[in-house]
Structure 1
């Protein structure tokens, strides 16, 4: 009896060992509609983007960016190391006279300079010319034949008065802007005297008060 029970137990145990394992559910359980949709959240309304401010167009470069003023030469002498240069002290209506070097020794004598009224480009950065600190430039007219003459302001113009041009009103640029943007290099090709010797920018006279700036050379470049 005991032997029969042991055999029966062995048969049952073997059957369990070789019985197939219960099949797993290979299909993932689908989420319930509530789980699929998720719980609703309170979303803040999106702020509308403000339209970007229109960028201001860069200021047009013209003669108004040059600070040309009336000056009077108080002193002038020959540069000791440069054969072409005069050294000048020019009153431009500021606290102190400006020192400016001009390559005019081939065209003028010292006596021609002292006491003369001239047009001075006053918003150039100071730089040394053969060791002489020059702060500005005296405007002259030059022609293809090699002539060079001063551009003269009106006789009734006052020292420090600004030279203007009708149709090109505006404030002058800073010295740094003139250098960085190469303003003079862009403007001066349109600076010329007309058939009457009047200094013009794009055909419009350079003026101080009610008078115009003139030179004795016609159809000449002004620089």
Structure 2
């Protein structure tokens, strides 16, 4: 495992977002398009977990997202961040929900 100075960690903008809408992208097996509210802005974020979660399981839930990544087009849709998840070595993915009392837009560290 490579070790990093804590200053590297602080470069990432991790924030709590509320999934306002979610839909499976057509012609893909794993991609879900999320419309996420961060309090002061909304972003589109694509996540590749449709083989393990339905869009309905994500809507209305709060999660932690990385916001300062370069945008990336996935299946023709620009993703403006990344949903943080836990993944086991055998590929099982677990959502990391945020408690209801944590405000949307809260910075995570």
TM-score with structure 1 setting the length? 0.45
Which structure: greater helix fraction?
Answer: 1
Write out per-residue CA displacement over residues 54-75 of structure 1, whole angstroms, 9 at most, x where no aligned residue: xxxxx96432111000000001
Match of 1:104 in 2: 49
Match of 1:88 in 2: 34
In 1, the alpha carbon distance for the partners of 2:99 and 2:34 equals 21
Match of 2:103 in 1: 158
Pair member with larger Rg? 1
In 2, the alpha carbon distance for the partners of 1:118 and 1:63 equals 19
In 2, the alpha carbon distance for the partners of 1:105 and 1:155 equals 24
In angstroms, what is the RMSD of aligned CA positions? 1.5
Match of 2:15 in 1: 69
In 1, the alpha carbon distance for the partners of 2:67 and 2:7 equals 17
**Structure 2: gaps spanning 5 or more residues:** none
Larger RCO (CA within 8 A; separation ≥ 6)? 2
In 2, the alpha carbon distance for the partners of 1:155 and 1:141 equals 20
Query: Secondary structure in 2 aligned to 1:62?
Result: helix
In 2, the alpha carbon distance for the partners of 1:120 and 1:146 equals 20
Query: Secondary structure in 2 aligned to 1:112?
Result: helix
Aligned: 1:138 with 2:83: yes
In structure 2, relative to structure 1, the CA distance for the partners of 1:63 and 1:154 (3 Å cut) is farther
In 2, the alpha carbon distance for the partners of 1:155 and 1:163 equals 15
* Deviating 4+ runs (over 3 angstroms): none
Write out per-residue CA displacement over residues 23-46 of structure 1, whole angstroms, 9 at most, x where no aligned residue: xxxxxxxxxxxxxxxxxxxxxxxx
Q: How many residues align?
A: 105
